[in-house]
Amino acid sequence: MRVVIDTNVLISGLINPDGKPAMIINLLLLKKIKVLYDNRILKEYRNVLLRKRFGFSEELVDSLIEFIKTEGEFVASKPIKIDIPDESDKKFLEVAISGKANYLITGNTKDYPKLEFIITPKEFLEVF
């Protein structure tokens, strides 16, 4: 299954190892899902995960990103002409559409248009 994972899902999964986002990270690490990404997404993952307030080590963050680069799929995305509430999230939608992702998994569905393939971690685990 091909997915795009919003940064908030990675953060939640690393902070709370018992939550649904953590289950998605486990599926990623077990290679049960393939994460689609581009350089903008990897940059955001790294920058946000390294914020001091989260307390993640640089080694952990770099290992996770390297795993995503190795096991995931790079997508050369095309710009889309869809207005979304948070323009900084547009890259996730562009990669999902260009890469023909089955799902874009986010904890903030309100930040995206109401499209069938944009779902929460809970919804994803229900369909997985």
Return the pLDDT at 95.
Answer: 98
Q: Which band of pLDDT confidence, cut at 50, 70 and 90, is reported for residue 127?
A: very high
**100: region left, alpha or beta (phi > 0 left; psi from -120 to 50 alpha):** left
**88 to 6, 67, 71, 123: CA distances (angstroms):** 11, 24, 25, 23
Give tens-digit pLDDT for 61-86. 999 999 999 999 999 999 999 889 88
Query: Which domains occur in the chain, in start order?
Result: 2-127 (3.40.50.1010)
Please write the tens of the pLDDT for every residue from 22-67. Answer: 999 999 999 999 999 999 999 999 999 999 999 999 999 999 999 9
Confidence of residue 118 (pLDDT cuts 50, 70, 90): very high
Helix (H) or strand (E) holding 3: strand 2-5
Which pLDDT value is given to residue 91? 98
CA 48 to chain centre: 12
Model confidence band, residue 100 (pLDDT cutoffs 50, 70, 90): very high
